[in-house]
Structure 1
Amino acid sequence: MSARALHHRRQHHILLLHKLLSSRDASSPFTLLLDSVEQSAKPLIRHFIQGAKASKTDVVFVAWETMTPPTGVTAFVKARRKEPAAVQEEIRRNLSASKRTLLILDTLYPLATHPPTHLPSFLSSLTSPTASLLAIYHTDIPLPAPSPSHPNTLYNPSPLPLLSYLATALLTPHSPSQVLARHRAAARSLPEPVFGLAEERDGVVVGVGANDDGKGVVLKMEYRRKSGRGVEEWFFLEKGGGVGLLVDREGWKGREEGEEGEGGEGDGGTFELGLTDKQRRDREGVVLPYFDAQKGEGGGGGRILYDMGVEDDFDEEEDEI
C-alpha cells in the first residue's frame, strides 16, 4: 500500500470514529460498548455526551446502576427495579420525533436477565431515523442459568453473541498500561501477561493498571458498513477529547498492514526491508555461481560447466548432457 493510500485510510478511520462519538449522520443506529472491570466504559460515555452536545443532539440517559445524572444529559430515566415495559414507555415519552437523540443505556444486564423480555425487539423499538442507541454490556458479569419455568429461554442464543450480531458498531475500551504491557511482551516473543480475573488467583479481581484512564483510553473499534464490509481499528482517546490511531502514539513501535515495503523514516517500524544505495551497489556487484555459463550467445542451448577432480569416476556409457 502506498504512503498516500495509507494516509487516506488513517484519516478515514479517525473521521469515522469522530462521527460515531458525535452521533452525526446516523452513522451507527446501535453502538455496543463492551467493557469490564479492567477498563470501564464511563470515560467513553463522557466522550459521547460531549460529542452529542457539540452537535446539538439530545441525550437521554437510562440508568439502572447510575445514581446521579451525568453532566450534559437532556433527560435522566431511572430504570432500577422497574419492569421493562414501564421503562420502555418512559423512554418513548422523552424521545423527540423532530430532533436527533442519543439514547444511552448504562447496562444491559437487567434486560438480558429478565426472562420474558425479548432483547432484540426491545432494543429495536427504541431506535428510529432520529434516535441512535448506545448500550453498555459488562463482559465479566456472569449470567444466570436459564430458568426451567421459561422453556423458550433454553434455546435462545446468549445475549453477547446476539448483541454483537445486532450492533452496527462495537467499541471495546482497554487500559492503556495493560495494552502496552501486552505489546511489549509480544515484541519480545514472550507470553502475554494476564490481568484481573484472567490471572485465576484467589482474591484477585482487578489487575495492575486497571482503569488507567488518567491520560486516555485505548479503544478497539469494529464498524459494520451497509455494504457488509467491516472496519477494524485501534485508537487512543485522550482525556481532553483528542483522538488518534494507537500506532501513532509515542512508544508504540508497530507497523500497520501494508507498510512493510515502504521503508520510510520515522514510521515506527522495528525492521527495514528497503535497500540503501550502498547495499544496492553491493548487490549488483555480486558474481553468482556458474555465471560464466551466461556469457555465451543465445541459441546454443544450456550447458553446465564442471571441472572433474581426481576422485571423480567418469563413466563413458552414461548419457552426455
Structure 2
Amino acid sequence: MMMDLSLSLTSAWPCAATETGASASSPNGIATVHARFLRTFPISALPTNLSLFLIDDKFDLILHFVNGSIYSISRAWAWRRGIGIEEMMQPIDVERFRRDGFLAIPQLVGAATVAALADIYDAMLRGEIDCSATDNPLGMTTRQIMLPSAYHPIFRDNPALDAARDIARDLLGVADPKPVFDMLIYKEPGQLATTPWHQDYSYAQMPLTPAGTLVPSDEYVQFWVALDDVDEENGCMHFVPGAHDAPLLDHYIAGGDADYSQRLLAIRDPEAALDLTKAVACPLKAGGATVHNYGTPHFTSGNRTTARPRRAYIFNFSTRDRGA
C-alpha cells in the first residue's frame, strides 16, 4: 500500500524536522516518531502491518497509522484515562480475536477512572443510589445490577466506554459501534458461587436460545472491566479459545426460574461439550479488561479470598442499535 502522510497534515507544520525514537523492528511492530514540527513525512515504504504513532509536542497530537488508516488521538485522550503514551500503544490483535474469540487487554483505563467508577459502583452496592428495580441476584446467588447506566451518568459516559468503543470499531468493522447493554457483577470475599461455563448468545431468547442456533459472532462484543485486581482466586475470566464459531451449545437453566430476567444459564455437561484442557485464565490488574464475542464459552470461579472483592463492570457493543 502506497501512502504519504503529508496528505493528512495539510498546513499545520512548517517544516519536517523529525527525531525517530524506534524503528520497524521495535517490539510488537510499533514505531514511534517524536516530531516537534512535521509537515511532510512520507511513509510509503512502510509495511502495511506496522503501527506508527506520530507524537507532536507542540500541537498536542498523536497520529496513529495502522494498515493504511490514520486515527487522530489527542494526548488529553490518554491523560483523561490516566494512561501514559507507552501504555496506550497496545496493539489490538484483530486476527487473534477472530481466531480465539477473545482478547485480554492489560490496561483499558487508568487508576483515576477505576477509582471514579468504583466509587459509584460501591454507592450502588450500599443502596445509596437506588437500583432496586434491577438489583437482583444472578441465578439467585450472585449480586448483579443490570443497566447501571439507567441510574448514574458515569455509566453512560466514561473513559472505559470510550476506549472500548475504539477497540470495538476494529473488532466489529464498523465506524460507530452501538452500546446495547451493561451490568455490574459483584463477588465479595467468600462468595463461592461460580458463573458456570456458558455462551452469551444463549441469553438472546427466553428462557434460552435453542442449541444449534447459529451465533452472529461479528455483531456483538462484550467487555469485562476489572475494577479490582483479579486472578483465579477471586474470580477472573476464563475462556476456551477457538470454540466460538460453531453453532450454539446446549444450555440449561442453572439458577432462577424460566421467566426470571436474571436467570443463570450454563452449558450442559461442559466437560464433554468443550475441551477444558485448553481453557485460558485471564488475570488482570484493576483497569484491565477482556473482550469476547457472543459465541465464546467463558466461566468465572467464586471468590475464594477472605479480603479481596471482585467488582466487574460489563458492557456490550453491537453493529446494531439497542433493541434492533
TM-score, shorter chain, exceeding 0.5: no
Rg bigger for which structure? Answer: 1
Normalized per residue, the structure richer in strand is 2
Larger RCO (CA under 8 A, 6+ residues apart): 2
Normalized per residue, the structure richer in helix is 1
Query: If the length of structure 2 is used for normalisation, what is the TM-score?
Result: 0.22
Query: If the length of structure 1 is used for normalisation, what is the TM-score?
Result: 0.22
